[in-house]
Chain A
Amino acid sequence: MAQSVQTHTGDALERPPGLRGVAADLSSDQRAFKNVSWGKAMMWIFLLSDTFVFGCFLLAYMTARMSTTVPWPNPSEVFALTIGGQEIPLILIAIMTFILISSSGTMAMAVNFGYSRDRRKTAALMLLTAVLGASFVGMQAFEWSKLIAEGVRPWENPWGAAQFGSSFFMITGFHGTHVTFGVLFLLIIARKVWRGDFETERRGFFTSRKGNYEIVEIMGLYWHFVDLVWVFIFAFFYLW
């Protein structure tokens, strides 16, 4: 039986059952993913590529940690803070993680209000997300300066393997850069939402394409990704 290929003509064509239907949808004309805009598709593919960057960083760190001949410093002791005369392990990281995960929540709410075209709430929540992100970076700066004051350098540290400092600064630095860029773009997009750019379909500066509220969601994708990466860094670097 000769059968013509699916070309998305509304309901005119019958869809083959099961996996073949999935394949026919994906390979149909114009768009492989029917309800995905160009911007969103690009963000997903970028995140896939970025996953490989962080994956390589983490794998390299794990290799270094496993193959070094000198003992690895104990993260529970290194990342402890003395509060009220009591040494509490990982307390700062716990707070940082809590803040970052919370910011994912506020971001998700912003996306929701964006689609209901509630400009004020969207912008306010994005701003809140940006503040939480900025405070994460601030605490990271505090953590860095504390470690540096204790003598941790990329090339050495007082407690053991030199790769500890190098991996720590490299990986958290690279992640922190991601958060910082995220904060900047959150502010830019929050401003656009506030100004009503997406109501008037004003053209963006970079893309010269018409803007709409989906950009809030695309921003959200990036933000959630940065959070997710942090979970892995937290697990592999601090909890190991």
Chain B
Amino acid sequence: MVDIRSGAGETIPLAEVEDVELYHPKSWWTKYVFSQDAKIIAIQYSTTAIAIGMVALVLSWLMRLQLGFPGYFDFIDADHYYQFITMHGMIMVIYLLTALFLGGFGNYLIPLMVGARDMVFPYANMLSYWIYLLAVLVLVAGFFVPGGPTGAGWTLYPPQSILSGTPGGKDWGILLMLSSLILFIIGFTMGGLNYVVTVLQGRARGMTLMRMPLTIWGIFTATIMALLAFPALFVAAVMMLFDRLLGTSFFMPAIVEMGEQLKQGGGSPILFQHLFWFFGHPEVYIVALPAFGIVSDLISTHARKNIFGYRMMVWAIVIIAALSFIVWAHHMYVSGMNPQFGFFFATTTLIIAVPTAIKVYNWVLTLWRGDIHLSLPMLFALAFIVTFVNGGLTGLFLGNVVVDVPLSDTMFVVAHFHMVMGVAPILVIFGAIYHWYPKVTGRMLNEAMGQIHFWVTFLGAYAIFFPMHYLGLLGIPRRYHDLGDATFVPDSAHTLNAFISVMALTVGAAQLLFLFNLVWSIWKGRDAGGNPWRATTLEWQTPQTPPAHGNWGKELPVVYRWAYDYSVPGAAEDFIPQNHPGLGVPTRETGS
């Protein structure tokens, strides 16, 4: 075995690439607006993502108002309800989670954590943000055009998504949605190439791949996945745009619309589903892998203990990424598939549980006998583990064909994916913001507000999504605007729906408090100093806080150890920074 944590005994490697000369902005505009500095771009990405995420949050309130109190809100008719569902889903998955994890955290953390001055192509990185912003604006424009945004559901299944029965189907809505997705993919590709090349080719001296913090491993792997999965969505969006604009029939079977036989015919709606889910399933892990990585670092730092099984954690990330490309059709069990396919995809789906379970065990074993500080990042990390296990377990139900068939299109599915890829990654995002906010601003977030935010969000999320499992088992369908007087729906289901809606509003209110905290702490927060969490990774060792342009001052850092030297016996402090020569001998002998 190669020892991943050896100390200063080894030779300091020579620099292979000369230090880059950075682009130095000359005006306020190029410094803060059209900035090529990854840190500014990260803040721009994050702010935009959170802003559009707030829109999606409000949409979810409106949906819950309708579901909890049907008939009280006249302005939420069926069409609006479907538009809210569609926009809520698409915004949350792509424009918030993907953009925030990769564009936000990726941009901020990759150069700092691997010891680079900036991303390798700052100009393309800047373009990436502006195209993302354009994509968001095109998406939002949907709310203001005739017919409103598309109401096809976030999966945009044809043929319904481009027919007149669906809101926006024959108007502007679907066009804007598809254009926005295409723009997003182009913009993301520019950023994504930067992230991958920076990690592969732009690291500091001594920063081997197996010394990288797991955060970087997660973001790096997720970016590669995104670069390979988004093409399928791109192709699907282009083809659907042609179906809608030119009258081609890629996805259109022979169909009667409003009593009229359409000219189109011979296309395959299932083809779209394959393309969409070839993107859609990796997308789940594009969101989850950065969360896995970040949470590993949060747990290790705040439990003052090295991550358990670092090597295994890295390989689990890589294996999950590879497997996630061959499981997509488990979203299509009810679409009409050869049963052999169902068997294959169910098997691969359940195999993913193995590396995922390894990760969960390793997090728990990292906590085991650690010096656990219940700081806010740690609370969110713990909440993540619990929530992820919950959501993952219902995934085992839905991954099996025979169990999935009766449960699909019920609230059970809604509960499952909100737990596993909604609440769980969002909890990590909160934890990460509480963790890195001091580095970004130089000030701590307010602890009291943070505690309220945490407990309301954590407990509230369970109050919202636990009852949904029960509703699903009762057979309450999802994507229904109004349950009506169906006899199989007991009164208790209506009561439960009202309860869920109240809780959703409460949790939403807690997010407003969080936003207030973000702004308030910029000026009023406690001064953080350079390394408030006493963490080992490089971003906490910068000469200035917040880090200046170019990150490291005159000298680039040299890395001597892995990212997890916490509580090393014999060390002066309970952490040894990665760029610290420190002890002359390896702290633990590993392997043969």
Q: Give residues in A with beta carbon < 8 Å to B.
A: 1-10, 12-13, 24, 26-34, 36-38, 41-42, 45-46, 48-50, 52-53, 55-57, 60, 63-64, 67-70, 154-156, 161-163, 165-166, 170, 174, 206-209
Contact = CB atoms under 8 A, between A and B. Distances in A.
Contact of A208 (B123, B208, B246, B263): B123
20 contacts: A2-B586, A4-B3, A7-B206, A30-B16, A30-B201, A31-B17, A36-B201, A38-B121, A45-B197, A53-B234, A55-B231, A56-B235, A56-B278, A60-B250, A64-B266, A70-B266, A154-B242, A155-B246, A162-B264, A207-B123
B200 A32 contact: yes
B14 interface: yes
A41 B196 CA distance: 9
Given A5-B4, A5-B208, A27-B208, A57 B11 contact: no
A153 to B, nearest CB: 8
Given A4-B9, A60-B235, A155-B248, A49 B2 contact: no
B95 to A, nearest CB: 20
A45 B199 CA distance: 13
- How many of chain B's residues touch chain A, expressed as a range? 35 or more
Contacts of A29: 13, 203-208, 211, 559
B249 A2 contact: no
Which residue of B9, B13, B14, B232 has the most chain A CB atoms within 10 A of its CB atom?
B13
Contacts of A57: 235
B242 A6 contact: no
Interface of B: 1-4, 6, 9-17, 20, 23, 36, 120-124, 189, 192-194, 196-197, 200-211, 227-232, 234-236, 238-239, 242, 246-250, 263-268, 271, 275, 278, 559, 586, 589-592
Contact of A48 (B10, B200, B228, B234): B228
A2 B239 CA distance: 56
Contact of A64 (B10, B16, B231, B268): B268
A38 B201 contact: yes
A31 B200 contact: yes
Contact of A49 (B123, B202, B231, B265): B231
Contacts of B10: 4, 7
B120 A30 contact: no
Nearest to A58: B235
Given A49-B228, A166-B242, 8 more contacts: A1-B592, A8-B16, A9-B13, A57-B235, A155-B247, A162-B265, A162-B266, A163-B250
B249 A155 contact: yes
B246 A207 contact: no
Contacts of B263: 155-156
Contacts of A174: 238
A86 to B, nearest CB: 34
Contacts of B13: 7-9, 29-30
B239 A32 contact: no
Nearest to B268: A67
A69 B6 contact: no
Contacts of A26: 209
B3 A2 contact: yes
A29 B231 CA distance: 31
Nearest to B230: A49
B267 A163 contact: yes
A68 B251 CA distance: 11
Given A4-B9, A5-B210, A70-B266, A166 B248 contact: yes
Given A2-B586, A52-B231, A154 B246 contact: yes
Contacts of A41: 197, 200-201
A166 B249 contact: yes
Task: Give me the 3 closest cross-chain CB pairs, A-B, nearest first.
Answer: A166-B248, A52-B231, A27-B209
A34 to B, nearest CB: 7
A153 B250 CA distance: 14
Contacts of A63: 268, 271
Contacts of A1: 592
A38 B202 contact: yes
Given A69-B266, A162-B265, A2 B235 contact: no
B337 to A, nearest CB: 14
Contacts of A6: 208
Contact of A42 (B14, B17, B197, B250): B197
B193 A46 contact: yes
Contacts of A207: 121, 123-124
Given A2-B3, A7-B13, A30-B15, A161 B204 contact: no
